[in-house]
């Protein structure tokens, strides 16, 4: 089929029989429910931009499987140029949405599985890679949105999967037959999964021999029998249920990516959609490949989000009459510096990418993990500086209903005005945007999305090649290496 547009994407969601709960109620139609619409709008934009002549070159690619024009979100990276375009595209779209558009996790899962299944087949003589290529072609041909499903609940973090008191704390295989496998467990913090067509399940950590039943990678539709999605809370999410849009801050695209807890209650998966089943030695490699691809993203998408935060902060300084103050200008310079530093890291790890045995390109993992480590710090500082400049009104303003109230509206209008030339409502709208983009859920995602800070530090140490650095130092110090 042809590349979807946003409306086609929305209609395709209506065709799903997906089971979603939110606030203790089963949702009949996520497409028509205000709680989900901002996230769907953000994802829909990625489909629309594929048809925009000004963005088409970044948002589409040529399939190495079929030679057809496809969404870049379903593409397997064939060069460092592809890796660089990925980062540029993510910054572009994040600047347009000011939020998460949810397709990166599945995209990174596609690339990680493509490279690892190839290497599994080369060593083990399995046929996982050919299965995956057929699945990938199906995704590309139908322009489907895939949710990458890696994070397990984990239970007791001090115990491996096989030693958990409750075996369902990690997704595992509970039955096999000649037609396929049956899996049970859950995936948590699943970005965009309720408005995705497919979910690509992966192990969440390196595993030992006793964890064989947990070493499973497979794909299934998000509305498969036995799958239940429980939508997660976000900061100020019930504002979407109120009349008016001012208090939402970013009414069209929302905050972060609409995460959910996804339950897998004895779900059947046919063999043609199984890409790892018991090959525990490859679980860690799949996790590392996925994590590095995903951490590459953050200097792109967070730079795009920060572009909007910087713009909103600059506007607030103007509304407050403080834009010319030297300390304000200096703080904005610092916000720009931090943003561009994040972007540089993502571009660098892309330029330093190299081909895997499959031919697909992989980022420099040391630099990719460094990018994400910086995000866990820089975004908080960008938010802090934005709060400093914008002022306390963003956290204490009356509501939109108060602004438009027959009796008290005139007081809100009068006392929340800044400079004379700027309407009060404009200042309030910009303050709410700052609140939306720099508040609780957005910051937590910057910290824990793509893995906690410690996960990056482990990878950084592993990739640091300290032995080589010691040799460099010994040579300059005149210390001879012992043979």
**In this predicted structure, what is the pLDDT of residue 153?**
98
Across residues 141-145, what is the average pLDDT?
Answer: 98
Across residues 324-335, what is the average pLDDT?
Answer: 98
Q: Which of 118, 298, 319, 361 is catalytic?
A: 298
Band the pLDDT of 4: cuts 50, 70, 90: very high
**In this predicted structure, what is the pLDDT of residue 404?**
97
Q: Is 301 a catalytic residue?
A: yes
Q: Is 104 a catalytic residue?
A: yes
CB burial readout 271-298, b (16+ within 10 A) else e: ebbbbbbbbbbbbebbbbbbbbbbbbbb
Is the pLDDT at 141 greater than 80? The verdict is yes
Give me the residue label for tokens 């906690």. 452
**In this predicted structure, what is the pLDDT of residue 71?**
98
Q: Which of 77, 294, 339, 376 is catalytic?
A: 294
Question: What pLDDT digit, counting tens, does each position of 39-71 carry?
Answer: 999 999 999 999 999 999 999 999 999 999 999
Query: How far apart, in whole angstroms, are the C-alpha atoms of residue 461 and residue 463?
Result: 5
Q: Is 376 a catalytic residue?
A: no
Across residues 266-295, what is the average pLDDT?
Answer: 98
Query: How far apart, in whole angstroms, are the C-alpha atoms of residue 309 and residue 436?
Result: 10
Q: What residue segments make up the domains of the chain, in order of their start?
A: 286-472
Question: What pLDDT digit, counting tens, does each position of 387-404 carry?
Answer: 999 999 999 999 999 999
Q: Which of 218, 277, 301, 349 is catalytic?
A: 301
Q: Is 191 a catalytic residue?
A: yes
Contact between 350 and 363 under an 8 Å Cβ cutoff? The reply is yes
Residue 54 annotated as lining a ligand binding site: no
Is the pLDDT at 117 greater than 70? The verdict is yes
Across residues 338-350, what is the average pLDDT?
Answer: 98
Across residues 24-47, what is the average pLDDT?
Answer: 98
Q: Which of 119, 198, 259, 400 is catalytic?
A: 259
Strand partners, 268: 182
Across residues 171-187, what is the average pLDDT?
Answer: 98
Across residues 411-434, what is the average pLDDT?
Answer: 97
Across residues 370-397, what is the average pLDDT?
Answer: 95
**In this predicted structure, what is the pLDDT of residue 481?**
84
Q: Which of 104, 277, 349, 393 is catalytic?
A: 104
Q: Is 413 a catalytic residue?
A: no
CATH homologous superfamily of 286-472: Butyryl-CoA Dehydrogenase, subunit A, domain 3 (1.20.140.10)
Q: Is 351 a catalytic residue?
A: no
**In this predicted structure, what is the pLDDT of residue 441?**
83
Across residues 209-225, what is the average pLDDT?
Answer: 98
Q: Is 277 a catalytic residue?
A: no
Percentage of residues in the chain having pLDDT higher than 90: 93
Query: How far apart, in whole angstroms, are the C-alpha atoms of residue 147 and residue 195?
Result: 9
Q: Which of 55, 97, 115, 191 is catalytic?
A: 191
Is the pLDDT at 350 greater than 80? The verdict is yes
Model pTM score = 0.95
Q: Is 100 a catalytic residue?
A: yes
- Calculate the average pLDDT of the chain: 96
**In this predicted structure, what is the pLDDT of residue 483?**
67
Minimal CA–CA distance to 115: which of 95, 130, 129?
Answer: 129
């Amino acid at each position: 089929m042809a590349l979807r547009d946003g409306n086609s994407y929305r209609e395709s969601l209506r065709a799903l029989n997906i089971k979603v709960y939110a606030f203790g109620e089963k949702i009949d139609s996520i497409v028509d429910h205000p709680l989900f619409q901002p996230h769907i709008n953000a994802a829909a934009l990625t489909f629309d931009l594929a048809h925009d002549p000004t963005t088409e070159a970044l948002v589409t690619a040529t399939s190495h499987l079929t030679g057809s024009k496809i969404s870049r979100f379903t593409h397997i990276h064939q060069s460092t140029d592809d890796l660089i375009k990925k980062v540029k595209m993510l910054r572009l779209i994040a600047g347009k949405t000011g939020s998460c558009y949810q397709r990166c996790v599945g995209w990174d899962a596609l690339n990680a599985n493509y490279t690892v299944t190839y290497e599994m087949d080369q060593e083990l003589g399995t046929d996982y890679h050919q299965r995956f290529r057929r699945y990938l072609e199906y995704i590309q041909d139908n322009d489907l949105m895939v949710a990458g499903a890696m994070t397990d609940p984990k239970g007791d973090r001090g115990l491996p999967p096989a030693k958990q008191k409750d075996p369902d704390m990690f997704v595992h295989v509970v039955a096999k037959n000649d037609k396929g496998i049956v899996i049970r467990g859950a995936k948590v913090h699943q970005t965009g999964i309720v408005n995705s067509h497919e979910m690509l399940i992966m192990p969440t950590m390196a595993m030992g021999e006793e964890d064989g039943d947990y070493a499973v990678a497979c794909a299934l539709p998000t509305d498969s029998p036995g799958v239940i999605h429980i939508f997660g809370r976000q900061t100020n999410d019930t504002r979407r249920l109120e009349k008016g849009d001012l208090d939402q801050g970013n009414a069209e695209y929302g905050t972060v990516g609409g995460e959910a807890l996804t339950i897998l209650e004895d779900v059947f998966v046919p063999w043609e959609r199984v890409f790892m089943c018991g090959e525990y030695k490859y679980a860690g490699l799949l996790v590392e490949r996925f994590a590095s691809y995903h951490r590459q993203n953050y200097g792109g998408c967070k730079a795009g989000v920060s572009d909007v935060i910087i713009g909103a902060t600059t506007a607030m300084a103007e509304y407050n009459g403080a834009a010319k103050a030297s300390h304000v200008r200096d703080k904005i310079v610092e916000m720009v510096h931090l943003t561009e530093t994040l972007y540089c890291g993502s571009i660098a790890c892309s330029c330093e990418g190299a081909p895997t045995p499959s031919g697909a390109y992989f980022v420099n993992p040391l630099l990719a993990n460094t990018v994400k480590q910086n995000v866990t710090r820089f975004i908080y500082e960008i938010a802090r500086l934005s709060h400093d400049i914008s002022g306390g009104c963003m956290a204490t303003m009356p509501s939109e209903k108060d602004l438009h109230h027959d009796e008290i509206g005139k007081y809100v209008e009068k006392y929340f005005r800044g400079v004379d030339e700027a309407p009060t409502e404009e200042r309030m709208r910009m303050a709410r945007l700052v609140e939306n983009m720099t508040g609780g859920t957005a910051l937590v995602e910057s910290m824990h999305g793509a893995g906690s800070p410690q996960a990056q530090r482990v990878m950084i140490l592993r990739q640091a090649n300290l032995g080589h650095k010691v040799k460099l130092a010994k040579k300059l110090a005149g210390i001879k290496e012992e043979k």
